[in-house]
Amino acid sequence: MNKIEHLENNTDIIVAAHRGLKSDYPENTLLAFQKALESEVDMLEFDLRLSKDGVVVVIHDDTLDRTTNGSGQVSDYTLAELKQLDAGAWFDPVFEGLKIPTLEELCTLLNAYPEVLLNVEVKPSRHAKEVADKAVAMLEDYGYLQRCVFTSFDAAIIAYLHDSYQLKTQGFPAELMTNFDSGPDGTYSKMWVVGISMKLLTPKIVKDFLDLGIKSWSYCPDVDQQVYYSLECGVALMTCNNPRPAMRIRHEIATAAQPLNKEMS
Ligand code: G3P
Ligand code: CA
């Protein structure tokens, strides 16, 4: 079963690789995604924006400066221009030559991984609705939509994805979102899960959201202590820059439970 609904009542650790295997490879590149997939994470998380000529590309920041050798707004460049840029050497010279991927290229890579879940983040921008429409259409074409949860810090995009497409959404605490709509039919009523940073994560915030019917999802528990803390708070959905600690702890918990399972059967 690879449908995203599987997460609804799940209590086992589920690991999403944040922007690919971000701890070891340049974020949001096909190599970072390939390495995350090879490490058998449950889910990939990635960020979407629009090129000047209307192509959905995978990049986190609104500008090119941090993660490429270019500068200025991503949306001021055509895809052909974006493809001229290097998206690897900023992380380590050994990765020189990596490019900003399109969503379509990522979809092609995902063909070989029919079980992996997808956390699709639509970054806030004046193009966000167009990005959302194009991403939904492409993920649908590839047959991936059933395994997607959509994220945005723009509450208007959360509402749009929920109302127009009936998709599963991940939002954030109100103070972190733009266009937040309070009230019973507002943003929280359209959020399936809430992303809670390790800085904000407490048992109380998890309970407060649970009281609203919203499951919590932590980011980014990258070391053992944070993984255990996330579990203590009742949060098993984890987006990690380094997925290894969470995956190892999941394995250790499963192994420790085995003799007990045998006794009970
Ligand atoms: O899943 C939540 C996380 O992706 C949000 O943070 O900075 O990667 O957009 P960021
Ligand atoms: Ca993200």
**Residue 7 to residue 158: CA distance in whole angstroms:** 19
Task: Note the ligand closest to the C-alpha atom of 46.
Answer: 2
Task: Name beta bridge partners: 149.
Answer: 119
Could you identify the atom of ligand 1 that is nearest to the CA of residue 123? 9
Q: Residue 41 burial (CB < 10 Å; 0-12/13-18/19+)?
A: buried
The CB of 45 under 6 Å from ligand 1? The reply is yes
**Residue 194 to residue 215: CA distance in whole angstroms:** 6
Residues 6 or more apart in contact with residue 206 via CB below 8 angstroms: 196, 216, 233, 234, 235
Least confident span in 47-61, 111-125, 251-265: 251-265
**Residue 173 to residue 180: CA distance in whole angstroms:** 9
pLDDT at residue 100 in the model: 99
Of 6, 18, 162, 251, which is the active-site residue? 18
The CB of 219 under 6 Å from ligand 1? The reply is yes
Q: What is the DSSP string of 56-91?
A: EEE-SSSBSTTTSS--SBGGGS-HHHHTTS-SSTTT
The CB of 153 under 6 Å from ligand 1? The reply is no
User: Is 57 within 8 Å of 74 (Cβ atoms)?
Assistant: yes
End-to-end CA distance of the chain: 24
The mean pLDDT of 231-258, rounded to a whole number, is 95
- Nearest Cα to Cα of residue 162 among 132, 117, 138: 132
CA of 60 from ligand 1 middle (Å) equals 9
60 a catalytic residue: yes
pLDDT band at 261 (very low <50, low <70, confident <90, very high): low
pLDDT band at 263 (very low <50, low <70, confident <90, very high): low
**Residue 75 to residue 154: CA distance in whole angstroms:** 18
Mean pLDDT, the chain, rounded, equals 96
Residues 6 or more apart in contact with residue 121 via CB below 8 angstroms: 45, 46, 47, 48, 150, 151, 152
pLDDT band at 8 (very low <50, low <70, confident <90, very high): confident
pLDDT band at 151 (very low <50, low <70, confident <90, very high): very high
Least confident span in 62-71, 151-160, 236-245, 249-258: 249-258
Residues 6 or more apart in contact with residue 159 via CB below 8 angstroms: 181, 187, 190
pLDDT over 60 (residue 1) = no
Domain count, the chain: 1
- Nearest Cα to Cα of residue 169 among 241, 119, 219, 123: 119
- pLDDT, tens digit, 9 for 90 and up, residues 9-30: 888 999 999 999 999 999 999 9
For residue 229, the domain's CATH number is: 3.20.20.190
pLDDT at residue 265 in the model: 65
- pLDDT, tens digit, 9 for 90 and up, residues 75-116: 999 999 999 999 999 999 999 999 999 999 999 999 999 999
Could you identify the atom of ligand 1 that is nearest to the CA of residue 151? 1
pLDDT over 90 (residue 67) = yes
pLDDT at residue 9 in the model: 82
- pLDDT, tens digit, 9 for 90 and up, residues 165-206: 999 999 999 999 999 999 899 999 999 999 999 999 999 999
Which residue range forms the structural domain that includes residue 48? 4-264
Going by CA atoms, what residue is nearest to atom 7 of ligand 1?
Answer: 60
- How many CB atoms are closer than 10 A to CB 127? 20
6 a catalytic residue: no
Could you identify the atom of ligand 1 that is nearest to the CA of residue 119? 1
pLDDT band at 258 (very low <50, low <70, confident <90, very high): confident
pLDDT over 90 (residue 4) = no
The CB of 151 under 6 Å from ligand 1? The reply is yes
Pocket perturbation via mutation, ligand 1, pick of 7, 66, 121 by most ligand atoms within 8 A of CB? 121
Angle, in degrees to the nearest 10, between helices 244-264 and 224-232: 50
The single residue listed with the structure tokens 């984890």 is 238
Between β-strands 117-122 and 169-171, what pairing exists: parallel, antiparallel or unpaired? unpaired
